[in-house]
Amino acid sequence: MKVVIVSPTYNEIENVADLILQVHSTTPESDILIVDDNSPDGTHKLVRELMKTDPQLHLIVRAGKMGLGTAYCEGFKWALKNGYDRVIQIDADLSHNPVEIPVMLEESKTFDVIIGSRYIKGVNVANWPLRRLMLSYFANIYSRIITGLPVKDSTGGFKCFNSKVLEAIELDKIKSEGYAFQIEMNYLSWIKKFKIKEIPIVFVDRTVGKSKMSKKIIYEAIWMVPKLKLKRILGLI
């Protein structure tokens, strides 16, 4: 399989080098694509320096802070254009452990979408404040009840896609961010009859840098869930 790991960044200069090193150590045959939103802290400049000695490292620099969802979609389109068979999305803040990537790739031989799930076996989250944990946990229950999506962690950002899934989704039409983006991608994969599997992971909150979570991201997810259900009823997706 030809594999690429896609990670959007915005002010992740403290984490990105470690992420690249860890990914290479777990899956040395995989390529890495960093999609940077012109980080003021110079994240993209550091990646360019690392690229000089790393032929498996690639970079897209966008004009400015345009958001997680569109960054992933741009990365997905790049991956399809360059003929990758599997595309893995991973946060740059080291909250996802790259050691799980080989497990995802093995499962992807049978399933089309692999989700690194925090809630498939209890609650596997470390260092989150209770308020943030409750928000995430009940957001997943909410999306499952409204849409019928049979996924316990539909808001998680550690996933592996078979390229045929991304080819079947109209990526240019996806404008959502954060939680909403994750839910939308899972929902579209599900209604298009692709096989989804969750595998247990342990999510560890970032130790350096700042979270990108905001009220806007939360409200967007709240409205996205019934919107997806309605669009399916109306035959728009």
Yes or no: say if 85 and 163 are a contact pair by the CB < 8 Å rule: yes
pLDDT of residue 226: 86
Q: What's the CA gap between 158 and 116, in Å, rounded? A: 5
Strand 113-117 relative to strand 125-126, pairing: unpaired
> 133: Cβ–Cβ under 8 A, 6 or more apart, which residues?
123, 125
Per-residue pLDDT of the chain (237 residues; tens, 9 = 90+): 899 999 999 999 999 999 999 999 999 999 999 999 999 999 999 999 999 999 999 999 999 888 899 999 999 999 999 999 999 999 999 999 999 999 999 999 999 999 999 999 888 888 777 888 888 888 899 999 999 999 999 999 999 999 999 999 999 988 887 789 999 999 999 999 999 999 999 988 856 656 555 677 777 878 888 888 888 888 887
Give the global pTM: 0.91
Longest dimension (CA), the chain: 51
Q: What's the CA gap between 183 and 144, in Å, rounded? A: 10
Q: Give the three-state DSSP class for 13.
A: coil
Select from 34, 35, 91 the least CA-distant residue to 206: 91
> 198: Cβ–Cβ under 8 A, 6 or more apart, which residues?
114, 115, 116, 117, 120, 151, 152, 153
